[in-house]
Amino acid sequence: MKRIGYFLSCEEYSPTEIVEQARLAGEAGFDALWISDHFHPWTNEQGESAFVWSAIGAISQVCDLPVTTAVTCPTVRIHPAIIAQAAATSAALLGPGRFTLGVGSGEALNEHILGGVWPHADLRLEMLEEAIGLIRRLWTGEVVSHEGVHYTVDTARIYSLPEELPQIYVSAFGPKALDLACRVGDGFISVMPDAEGVSTFRQAKGAHAPTQAGFKVGWGADKEQAIDDAYRLWPNAGVPGELSQVLPSPQHFEQAAELVTRDKIAGSATFGDSVQEHVDAFTPFVEAGFDDVYVANMGPRYAEMIEAYGKEVLPELRSRHVRA
């Protein structure tokens, strides 16, 4: 790895908690931040859905860590021209080289809310490619008019541009999305230890093309309680396949998650306070070749987790896995 990051889950924590976690992560010695972009939480038990762009603005005032959106869907819920403006402002607030626009094709959970038909996967990728191209054009600071297949822009210009334009990283699950990332992305994002995806991306973009990945853990001295908290808050993590892209509401995820067992959740992540187990949880992502790996906490003990990582987990990880 090059960097060890902390993953802010806007669907689980309140806006003030998100900002607090960012500050604590900086103080503890994390290198960077991921932040999710949701309109709805996955389940009602998670109970939050902070607007990511407001959160990033607040974060810029409490710590100096780089931030990546993981990930924003710039196609349906928010027009790509508005995403271009929001990302430019975020980059200006955070400072040169400290903001990355992570994008993906999205989920119906967040994107269906304006009443349109949720597009099929191939069409979503087509829309994403056009959106990325439009965002890059708007970042030139020139007046842009665009009549594309999916988007129209009429004499639009972004005036508040950062000193250094953000890079755009593309989240990819499956060969078609990975092909898109290879063609138009500056970096590759995943939440799986996808060694094949890393290899394919670097074959297309160069040996040092940047890659990021993230995963979740549940911290706590009482391991069983940590599992209980994750099962209560994140049973959707056990929902398989394309369901996560097509189910439209937290209620639907709750219905699907009734088929997910506690044992499945217990076996899907690291729980408890064993420093060695938390260090080992990074190994699959390191072995897959990811540059930056981000870790999120599930449950209420985020302050304990961040403090423990700062004192024990991060030093061990750096001695074992971090390259200069």
Q: Which of 11, 12, 17, 107 is catalytic?
A: 107
Q: What is the CA radius of gyration of the chain?
A: 19
Known active-site residue 112: no
Which pair of structure tokens corresponds to residue 215?
């995963």
Known active-site residue 38: yes
Which residue spans within 16-77 are E strands per DSSP? 32-35, 67-69
Q: Dihedral, CA atoms, 245, 250, 256, 257, nearest 10 degrees?
A: 110
Helix (H, G, I), strand (E, B) or coil at 284: helix
271 neighbors 226 (Cβ within 8 angstroms): yes
Q: Which of 11, 12, 17, 38 is catalytic?
A: 38
The angle at the Cα of 11, spanning 248 to 162, to the nearest 5 degrees, equals 105
User: Which of 179, 149, 177 minimizes the C-alpha distance to 245?
Assistant: 177
CB atoms within 10 A of CB 137: 18
Question: CA-CA distance, 154 to 144, in Å (whole number)?
Answer: 7
Task: Annotate 247-279 with DSSP letters as a single string.
Answer: --SHHHHHHHHTT--HHHHHTTSEEES-HHHHH
Which pair of structure tokens corresponds to residue 282?
């990074």
Which pair of structure tokens corresponds to residue 98?
């400290």
User: Which of 295, 299, 267, 297 minimizes the C-alpha distance to 282?
Assistant: 295
Catalytic residues: 38, 107
